[in-house]
Amino acid sequence: MSFLKRFRRKTEDEASRIARLSKTGRMTDGQIIDAVSARDGKIVEVVYTYMLAGVLYESSQTLSEAQQQRDGDYAPGKQITVRYDPRQPANSIVV
- What lies within 8 Å, CB to CB, of 4 at 6+ separation is none
pLDDT digits (tens, 9 = 90+) for 7-58: 666 678 889 999 999 999 999 999 999 999 999 989 999 999 999 999 999 9
Give the sign of the dihedral formed by CA 57, CA 83, CA 17, CA 7: positive
The residue that leads in pLDDT, 19 or 1, is 19
Rg (CA), the chain: 15
Q: Which of 17, 36, 31, 12 is nearest to 78 (CA)?
A: 31
- β-strands 88-94, 79-85: how paired? antiparallel
